[in-house]
A = this chain, B = another copy of it.
Amino acid sequence: MQTKKIVNDGARAVEEMLQGVLAAHPRHIRAVEGSPRSIVSLNGPRPGKVGLVIGGGSGHEPTFLGFVGKGLADACAVGNVFASPPPDPIVECAKAVDGGAGILFAYGNYAGDVMNFDMAAEMLAMEDIEVRTVLSTDDVASAPPGEREKRRGVAGNFFVFKAGGAAADRMLPLDECERILRKANDQTYTVGVALAPCSLPQTRRPNFEIGPDEMEIGMGIHGEPGVERGPLRTADEIVDDIIDKIFAEMAPSRGDRVAVLVNSLGSTPLMELYIMNRRVAARLADRGVETHATWVGNYCTSLEMAGASITLHRLDGELQSMLDHPCDCAMFRAG
């Protein structure tokens, strides 16, 4: 059975989405002339400022598109659904936001994205634009401890990009922006749970199979296999499992401060996310960890996938200051 979707032509879904996005947010973003998959902040880029360029496949909205704006990303290269953008729109993003202080690439660690962003960096180097790259690798379940560099980037992107965007907006030099963004990634831990698949607009077929009473811990945002499949458990049991996995690695001490993101993969509603957050807050309090701020909602989705993820982002003074730095984006505001 095909999934019902409100689309015209599945093959044109990303183009048409982008047209709708630009129509909705004319005060925040524009497309680069002649490069419709390169979306640029109207208010962020300026001379002397490091340009933060993010990007990746579509279908995770508001990631990545929604985080373009002053105080966060300067530009976003937009791929097809669940597919990396090619080098050209990435290059066009970088050129459009180049303020002469260098470009910082930040995106999730997926082979296709790495290949395309690296090619873009080489093309930019030939034009004497310096590029640094930080891959987000917050998905704890996607590789064992000690192999963090193999992990995927998921909802924790939100905190990673936020830190880098704040650093750049404060006119810090490229070295510092890179250091801060890298530190933010090192302090970001996400584990997800999937309950039901999504389907791509081109096929409208489920992107994975899962039993009517099953859930899977650690599944990726494109349906990559997780670490445990089993019967659907209660919200508290699910949160405990996720938090145990995060704590095992993060090893928070009493008095540590964190920011929390409880994220829907798509169709899991706010009611369920807040029920999860109740338990997250209790677990953090039990551990003596202070919660500086909490976000709950659709931040990094997989179209209409059912499920959620929990991210903890450990703060020091510097990261807290970056998190609290104001931003004003197409689909997100803070500060």
Contacts and interface: CB of A to CB of B under 8 A. Distances in A.
Contacts of A61: 269-271, 274
Nearest to A308: B6
A64 B232 CA distance: 29
Interface in A14-35: 14, 16-21, 23-25
B271 A4 contact: no
A2 B275 CA distance: 19
Nearest to A279: B20
Given A296-B20, A333-B333, A275 B6 contact: yes
Interface stretch (A160-168, A249-257, A297-305): A297-305
Max chain B Cβ within 10 angstroms of own Cβ: one of A5, A193, A234, A280: A5
Contacts of A298: 270, 297-298
Nearest to A232: B4
Given A281-B20, A281-B23, A6 B270 contact: no
A277 interface: yes
Given A297-B331, A298-B298, A267 B24 contact: no
A14 B272 CA distance: 10
Contact of A238 (B6, B17, B66, B235): B6
Contact of A275 (B13, B62, B273, B331): B13
Nearest to A215: B4
Max chain B Cβ within 10 angstroms of own Cβ: one of A7, A268, A272, A301: A272
> How large, as a class, is the contact surface on chain A?
35 or more
A135 interface: no
A142 interface: no
A212 interface: yes
23 contacts: A1-B212, A14-B271, A16-B275, A17-B270, A17-B275, A20-B275, A20-B276, A20-B277, A20-B278, A21-B277, A23-B277, A24-B260, A24-B262, A24-B295, A59-B271, A61-B269, A267-B304, A268-B304, A269-B301, A269-B304, A270-B301, A297-B331, A333-B334
Pairs A-B, 9 closest by C-beta atoms: A267-B267, A20-B274, A20-B278, A23-B281, A61-B270, A20-B277, A24-B294, A6-B272, A19-B278
